[in-house]
Structure 1
């Protein structure tokens, strides 16, 4: 049986250290830790960046005000190249939470290759409400946040 998983690879027009900060600095994370149509209030983002540390944030739908608390535990922190952490509703059992891995590789010209892997959720490109689609939209928001972070 194949485990549920998917990978998204993106080339980003920013140095690896800037992309790392986008994943770990609450002020930058608040700008993009959400798909289109949602926002992440800056005061909802908390990061304890260490193995065993936790992070949390809340996504809010702009149109309705509905909110989704999200968070997890850092399993691996290797600055500036790799983050591995659980992800989901903070009330979920840790053993059930998907595990996300972010690998950052330096490219020529001050660019970064980001390899984003999700273990525990199937790739579903057909549904507009899928986790795959949500992260794809969040990475479009990341592109804008990286421009602002320079």
Structure 2
């Protein structure tokens, strides 16, 4: 008898000193994403933010030139509140892809952002997926602080 195995997952939460609309734009507009996601040229970013819409971007290692194409499908879009999307290779089958659930909760002029990745293990100090996303979310925090309403 096989015991069910748990799906690897992790959650990162940040409180940003920015309104929820600014944080939403940072996640859903090509130009905004290219400004905070490390080494992601704007010309590689394409977002169709609607349920069933696709997105893609390419991160580039500035030292080696190696490219890391990334993409997926939006599974659920609730403007300014929640994005659910697959994350991995741009054309990977949905059922084989990790899923990100991004929740934005308004707290006066601040936003609590909860990033949950299901289908990939991660922990602080892993120098891999968790730390990569944690660093990227730190960059996002700095980016939205510099934005105007």
TM-score of the superposition, structure 2-length normalised? 0.92
Structure 1 position 62, deviation (Å): 1.0
Aligned counterpart, 1:60: 60
Alpha-carbon distance in 2 for matches of 1:144, 1:31 = 10
Q: What does 1:2-17 align with in structure 2 at a 5 Å threshold?
A: 2-17=6-21
Alignment match, 1:115: 114
Q: CA RMSD in A?
A: 1.1
Question: What is the CA deviation profile of residues 34-74 of structure 1, one whole-angstrom value per residue up to 9, with x for unaligned ones?
Answer: 3xxxx000111000011000000000011111110000000
Corresponding residue for residue 101 of structure 1:
101
Structure 1 position 147, deviation (Å): 2.4
Report deviation, 1:94: 2.3
Aligned partners of 1:2 and 1:114: how far apart in 2? 25
The count of residues paired between Structure 1 and Structure 2 equals 144
Does the 8 Å CA contact 1:28/1:149 hold for their aligned counterparts? Answer: no
1:72-91 matched pairs, under 5 angstroms: 72-91=72-91
Q: Aligned to 1:58, what secondary structure does the other structure show?
A: strand
Structure 1 runs (4+) greater than 3 angstroms displaced = none
1:91 CA displacement: 3.9
Q: Secondary structure at the match of 2:65?
A: coil
- Contact 1:31-1:141 at 8 Å conserved across structures: no
C-alpha contact 1:75 1:85 (8 A) present in aligned 2 = yes
Aligned to 1:137: 135
> Structure 1: which 5+ runs fail to align?
none
In the other structure, the counterpart of 1:125 is: 124
